[in-house]
Structure 1
Amino acid sequence: MRMLWCSAALRLAFLLPTIGTSAPSPPTELFSPLVAEKVLRTALSPPTPAQYPQYTDRAAGDWLYFAPDTWTSGFFPATLYALHARAQLCRWPAANAAQWLALGRRWSAAEVPLAADNTVGHDVGFLSYPFVAELAVNPHNATAITAVNRFASDLAARFNPVVGCTRSWDTPNPVDFEVIIDNMMNLEVLFVSASLTGNKTLQNIAISHANKTMQNHVRPDGSSFHVVEYNATTGDVIARFTAQGYSNSSTWSRGQAWGIYGFSNSTSPTLSLYMHTQHPDYLTTARRMASYFLTHLPSDGIVPWDFNAPLTPPRPADSSAAMAAVNGLILLSQQERSLSPPNITGSTYYLNAAIQLLGVNTKLAWRPAWQSLLANGTVNNPEGNNLTGIVYGDYFFVQAGNELVSMGLMSC
């Protein structure tokens, strides 16, 4: 397993020379006053009836809003909770911290009914983000506990034991069982609910899904398919293809980032695939996917929408994929350090790679005049939705800053 990160470090040295030689510095924009100012401005102007920002227009960078029953609606309230966590990390005044917590709870309110009735399907894991964050503040919050458990039940109901996965997209023919790499991000709600209820079935569903994803989504070179279609009756793989990438044989960067994050997730020892199971394949898979991501970056280090898309016409960047990958790499670094004995070399390598990726992509995407924190995001390039700010890119940007402070690598 150690050969993987050593080999990756050697290849990456040609692309990002600072990695492995000296520690890069995180971008100062992470703690710019504009971060709190812009998020607060949006939080204090909620639409009526309740709607949630998802992405911006391409000209002025103004948020476009969507109904609560949308897969991205959990990210803005989760960002408010992340700024509450930052207020504590940075020792901001107590009143300031209380304001962020109150805003997080207020913006989560329109999501509460979704726990009983939603059309989001597999992405209930993303809806659960603010409620999981609330439980970190108040583990006894009954509303948050109920929401997390109901969202987990929704996801578990999409599990097919023959396929071994939770269904992602519904299809006209129920025998066609489609699973997307994004679903690695939704497994966390199953682990959280299992820790709340003691329901081991939820944990087993998450592990089964991760195992099948390793087997059928991840290619031998560490790249990934976006979609794997199974036969719901036999469990056989019918097809592997893309919906948001360049081609069926290419690697969509945000899907690759979801994989790095999902297999590296070490939010706590009880929620981590690897830390909970001690199954070395999860860590090995995270390393392989990280290696592909880092060694297939262009020379400028900007994350493209798809690693294999042609350069002409110019392929758009995706800052949201970059920020998701940054957080996944930080989690992978923490996993390496948690081993016994710790893999300090591997941990340092992934951490430096994360900070380098963060700096380069922040520099390109930072837009002081926009309502979003970052621009240059690609929502869905085949549909022409690119060059925007994206709410989940902003969320992972704020989270990256919090992680670096909590690790003692940055000051507020």
Structure 2
Amino acid sequence: MHLVISVCLATFTGFSRAASAPSQLYSPLVAQKLLTTAQSVPNNPIQYPQYTSSDNGQWQYFPADYWTTGFLPASCYAMYTRFNSLCPNSSAANEFLELGRSLSTGEVPLEAYTTVGHDVGFLSFPFVDEAAVDKSNQTATTAVNTFATLLADRFNPIVGCTRSWDTSDPTNFQVIIDNMMNLQVLFDSEALTGNTTLRNIAMSHADKTMQNHVRPDGSSYHLVEYNSTTGAVIWRGTVQGYADNSTWTRGQAWGIYGFANSLCHDLDLIVAVYRNTQQTRYLDTSRQMASFYISQIPSDGIVPWDFNAPLDPPRPADSSAAMIATVGLLMLSQQEASLSPSNTSGAEYWNNAAIKLLSDNTEFAWKPEWQSLLSNGTVNNRDSPPNNLTGITYGDYYFVEAGNQLISMGLASCSSSNSTSPAPSSSQSPHHTSGAVRARRLWW
């Protein structure tokens, strides 16, 4: 069971026990920027930030029917968690909770119609958070269950997976590594309803991903195409990475996180493949993918868009991939610690790896003058023109989550940071009159 960890400890020795979390995680700018962004979203109809301009760091806004919509309200809930329990500040906690709730309202119509396909799991994030805050909130429960049903409807028992992208040819069944992240809504809904079919779908999808996306060395394909009538694999490759045989770093991070995710909310909303199932094959897969990830990080510590992209011309970084992998490594550490007997050396290794990854990439991407928390994210380097050197809403979300995880694990302290500084109140913000803040809370 501990073979992969033993190999890691023998091979990778660049992580110091003295590693410490970057101070930027708990800078007052984190609360201030997120508050301003949340209060500034366009309304009528509501739009959500996805990425910034690479020129000036200003957020670019998109309609609600997009897979990234849930990250800003989920970031508000993450800040509520920080100020409610980790670094107590009741006024800041209440302000972020209200913003998370009001911003989530714009997602409600997506329960009836959405084009995001498998990514309904990402849309569910703020509703799962609200269910943890208020167990009696039926609207949040309905949203989680509805999004889970939409994902379950995309399951093909012959293939054994949920379909990611729709295609004009129904026999071409496409599955991307990202979909590992959406499985959590199936577990969430199972916890609420007792519907074990949802768990079976999630496990089947994870098994097929482990079998067909993950290479023997722990790297991963972005996309696997199946024949929907036979279940046979017909092609493996990439859409957002450098080449079909390369490793797109954000996809690799989704895999680490998706197999190891051990976050557990109130209401016993357990949202992990391994934690839900106690199947060690998922833990071993996360270890294998994490080991590969760490082995490929360049000497400067900065995560590139694709590990195999050439150095000339210079390949862009992807801070969002680094943040996702950081949280995945911290979750993997928690899983090691929870084993019986506890794998303390493995837990310590992943902790140190996560903190170094976080520190290096925060130092590189932190840009106080931008509206986003981080810069140097790559949305899609294969767009025309390439969409890189940006701030990205999910990169910011996992940056905040990393800060919360470190505090909850005892690896960072509010008392030694500025994290307990009050968030600016709405009355102090020049954006207080934005439509999103004025909107009535229609369902909370």
Q: Does 1:9 align with 2:9?
A: yes
Instruction: Determine the structure 2 residue equivalent to 1:210.
Output: 206
Instruction: Determine the structure 2 residue equivalent to 1:78.
Output: 74
Instruction: Determine the structure 2 residue equivalent to 1:343.
Output: 343
Which amino acid counterpart does residue 17 of structure 2 have in structure 1?
Answer: S
Task: Provide the rounded CA distance (Å) in 1 between the counterparts of 2:69 and 2:170.
Answer: 27
Q: Does 1:22 align with 2:24?
A: no
Q: CA deviation at 1:91?
A: 4.1
Q: CA deviation at 1:249?
A: 0.2
Instruction: Determine the structure 1 residue equivalent to 2:238.
Output: 242
Instruction: Note the alpha carbon deviations across 1:314-343, whole angstroms, 9 max, x for none.
Output: 010000000000000000000000000000
Task: Provide the rounded CA distance (Å) in 1 between the counterparts of 2:135 and 2:353.
Answer: 34
Task: Provide the rounded CA distance (Å) in 2 between the counterparts of 1:108 and 1:212.
Answer: 33
Q: Find 1:182's aligned residue among 178, 181, 187.
A: 178
Instruction: Determine the structure 1 residue equivalent to 2:36.
Output: 41
Instruction: Determine the structure 1 residue equivalent to 2:304.
Output: 304
**SS of corresponding position for 1:388:** coil
Which amino acid counterpart does residue 32 of structure 1 have in structure 2?
Answer: S
Q: Does 1:160 align with 2:156?
A: yes
Q: CA deviation at 1:194?
A: 0.5
**SS of corresponding position for 2:382:** helix
Q: Does 1:113 align with 2:109?
A: yes
Q: How does 1:294-333 map to 2 (within 5 A)?
A: 294-333=294-333
Task: Provide the rounded CA distance (Å) in 2 between the counterparts of 1:227 and 1:243.
Answer: 7
Q: Contact (CA 8 Å) 1:89, 1:406: kept in 2 or not?
A: no
Task: Provide the rounded CA distance (Å) in 2 between the counterparts of 1:275 and 1:93.
Answer: 31
Q: Contact (CA 8 Å) 1:257, 1:321: kept in 2 or not?
A: yes
Instruction: Note the alpha carbon deviations across 1:348-381, whole angstroms, 9 max, x for none.
Output: 0001100000000000000000000000000000
Instruction: Determine the structure 1 residue equivalent to 2:396.
Output: 394
Q: Contact (CA 8 Å) 2:261, 2:275: kept in 1 or not?
A: no
Q: CA deviation at 1:140?
A: 1.5
Q: Does 1:32 align with 2:27?
A: yes
Instruction: Note the alpha carbon deviations across 1:274-333, whole angstroms, 9 max, x for none.
Output: 233221110110000000000011111111100011110001000000000000000000
Q: CA deviation at 1:272?
A: 2.5
Which amino acid counterpart does residue 289 of structure 2 have in structure 1?
Answer: M
Instruction: Determine the structure 2 residue equivalent to 1:403.
Output: 405
Q: Find 1:200's aligned residue among 196, 200, 205.
A: 196
Which amino acid counterpart does residue 366 of structure 1 have in structure 2?
Answer: W
Q: Does 1:358 align with 2:358?
A: yes
Q: Contact (CA 8 Å) 2:71, 2:394: kept in 1 or not?
A: yes
For these two proteins, the number of residue pairs brought into alignment is: 407
Q: Contact (CA 8 Å) 1:4, 1:288: kept in 2 or not?
A: yes
Supply the RMSD in Å over aligned alpha carbons: 1.0
Which amino acid counterpart does residue 404 of structure 1 have in structure 2?
Answer: L
Q: Where in structure 1 are there 5+ consecutive unaligned residues?
A: none
* TM-score normalised over the length of structure 1: 0.97
Q: Contact (CA 8 Å) 1:89, 1:402: kept in 2 or not?
A: no
**SS of corresponding position for 1:381:** coil
Instruction: Determine the structure 2 residue equivalent to 1:96.
Output: 92
* TM-score normalised over the length of structure 2: 0.90
Q: CA deviation at 1:4?
A: 1.1
Q: Where in structure 2 are there 5+ consecutive unaligned residues?
A: 415-444
Moved more, 1-10 or 27-36: 1-10
